[in-house]
Amino acid sequence: MLAQTSPVAAQAVATSAPVTDVRYEVTFTRANGERRQVGSAMTFTVGGTDPVILSLPKWTPGAYEISNFSRDVSNFAAEQAGSSLTWDKLDADTWRVRPRGVGEITVRFDYLADSLDNANTWSRTDFLLFNGTNLFLYPEGREFDFPASVSVNTEAGWKVVTGMTSVGARRYTASNYHDLVDFPFFVGQFDVDSTQISGTWVRFATYPSGSVTGGARIAVWEALKRVIPAEVKVFSEVPWTTYSVLQIADPGYGGGSGLEHQNSHVDVLGPGMLGTPSLPSLYAHEIFHAWNVKRLRPADLWPYRYDIEQPTALLWISEGITDYYADLAEVRGGIINAKGFYEATSDKISQVDQLPPTSLEDASLSTWVHPRDGTEYIYYPKGSLAGLLIDIIIRDASNNHASLDDVMRKMYNADYKNGRGFTNDEWWAAVSQAANGKSFADFYSRYIDGREPFPYDRVLPLAGLRLAGDTTRVPQLGIASLQDSAGLRVTEVLAGSAAAAAGVQAGDQLISVAGFKAEDSNWTDRFRARYSREAEGTELAVVIKRDGVQQTLTAHLHFVLRIQSKVVEDSRASAKAKRIRSGLLTGTTN
Ligand SMILES: [Zn+2]
């Protein structure tokens, strides 16, 4: 919490009159779906005529960006005993309602449900995804510890799935506002089934109906049954009573994105991602967040605030270390083998190598402004690699008696279980303790606070691994691109590249290359696999859209030599290094 000490700052925070008996109602019928508007109502009791000041969050925890959900609000209205109340706005996302006296008040608004974004609200004629951060107002300047119920008013035959505690037909309850907005909902027609994993029920809900069926659905369940127990083992505890994987596949979306919650996560995917190895990795990442960030969380993010950015220099731990554990859960659960783990690690090394040197702390703090130099998400791969190095150093210093798993479990018990977030000092003290008292001060100043290249040559051999150079000849078009609402947008065309010669320009929307649709998140891999042995100069049709007009350009296949670092097993590894390597891959210590 930020302390408001100066009189000027104190004036800036409005305090609502107290409200009690808070109930929310979400209305989504077929008619709502056709208009892409969802109805939100909040009913509460007041004790007098003092103004009630209600705010809507600016962001959804986990999606570290200011989204200003109030922009999607329309038709705001307030009423008491059947007649409307006077209201005005105090700021862009705060409404001031003037009660006529003691009694019950209902405020309502419509919310535009057309944002295909797991932090937002999105509808089709038969389906709604909503997040409480978009629809549930809170009384400004008051504690967030008020209990509330949620009723969902929808078509009789439609389904409702959420992680929120059910207390009746389409009625749910949460004991405080932080929880209330941490349970996204699926409402409408979609597929859902469930099974028991690690002693708890896990649900898999997929929209549209039929998007994940047969063997593909069995494969998802197989992946969940492998990664969840591997992650539970790190903490020796399942933190949820049920867990829901809520997944949307839509052709309007490129790639894939997940957003974590305490007992669920929401994945939004382009259909091209279904059935790819990226999917188990995404699930493993989001589910690990149930411990790391939803519960074990940097003190800067504890408690969450909804009216302001909450930067933390420790996001690399919450996101990067989570990504490291996604790889570990996959190899420990048997989804990938050791070679697959080395390949995932090698990919991360090359991603980081291609970006400007950026410190993990700086990248963590900067995420809120989405830096445009390519480093916006560097804290994922680089934080993951930091996790690997720290894990190896701990295992080496402790003769493989301890690991990063012990640090995660100890912090979880010491901080989350005591109702608080953790600090940088606490993190490094726990790391050092696991490493038999070894100091990480130098490691921290060079590689976490600093921008020095990671010491792979010194650390990897401690786990019987080393970096080998691997030169490959790869077809290269020579563009940088970014997924936006319209599709894959070309952001940069390399001078002298095949794309430049073909006339591709920055700002073009890329539709397809040599028949490979750009909406498929794996199109570059597929393109390279198909053309790696074709002749230099082979003609390729490049379909783009510029100023709304589709055009087909002709590019000529061009190869570049790529030198990539690959993690491989060290044939000269000592017995100790082999023990560490095996412990890391299997989740064990000696
Ligand atoms: Zn994450």
For residue range 35-63, list pLDDT tens digits in order.
Answer: 999 999 999 999 999 999 999 999 999 99
299: DSSP letter:
G
Q: Which residues of 15-50 are buried (b: 16+ CB within 10 A; e: fewer)?
A: ebbbbeebbbbbbbbeebbeebbbbbbbbbebeeee
pLDDT tens-digit readout, 164-207: 999 999 999 999 999 999 999 999 999 999 999 999 999 999 99
CB of 258 closer than 8 Å to CB of 231: no
Q: How far away, in angstroms, is 88 Cα from ligand 1 center?
A: 38
Provide the 3-class DSSP secondary structure of residue 267: strand
Residues in the chain with pLDDT < 50? 1-11
Q: How far away, in angstroms, is 322 Cα from ligand 1 center?
A: 7
Q: How far away, in angstroms, is 228 Cα from ligand 1 center?
A: 16
E strand residue ranges, 47-134? 52-55, 73-80, 83-84, 86-91, 94-98, 103-112, 122-124, 127-130
CB of 569 closer than 8 Å to CB of 581: yes
Q: How far away, in angstroms, is 356 Cα from ligand 1 center?
A: 22
pTM: 0.88
Q: How far away, in angstroms, is 316 Cα from ligand 1 center?
A: 10
pLDDT at 8 (0 to 100): 43
Helical H segments across 236-337, by residue range: 278-288, 315, 322-332
pLDDT at 11 (0 to 100): 45
| Alpha carbons 302 and 306: distance in angstroms, whole number | 12
pLDDT at 86 (0 to 100): 98
Q: How far away, in angstroms, is 441 Cα from ligand 1 center?
A: 27
415 φ/ψ angles, rounded to the nearest 5 degrees:
-100, -65
CB of 103 closer than 8 Å to CB of 93: no
| Alpha carbons 50 and 209: distance in angstroms, whole number | 48
Q: How far away, in angstroms, is 522 Cα from ligand 1 center?
A: 20
Q: How far away, in angstroms, is 136 Cα from ligand 1 center?
A: 24
For 391, residues 6+ apart whose C-beta sits below 8 A from its C-beta are 324, 403, 404, 584
Provide the 3-class DSSP secondary structure of residue 408: helix
Q: How far away, in angstroms, is 31 Cα from ligand 1 center?
A: 35
Q: How far away, in angstroms, is 331 Cα from ligand 1 center?
A: 19
Q: How far away, in angstroms, is 260 Cα from ligand 1 center?
A: 7
Tokens describing residue 149: 């119920």
CA–CA–CA angle 383, 388, 391 (5° rounding)? 120
Residue with tokens 């490959």: 472
pLDDT at 126 (0 to 100): 98
| Alpha carbons 515 and 500: distance in angstroms, whole number | 19
Q: How far away, in angstroms, is 69 Cα from ligand 1 center?
A: 21
pLDDT at 562 (0 to 100): 80
Q: How far away, in angstroms, is 176 Cα from ligand 1 center?
A: 24
Q: How far away, in angstroms, is 280 Cα from ligand 1 center?
A: 14
Q: How far away, in angstroms, is 243 Cα from ligand 1 center?
A: 17
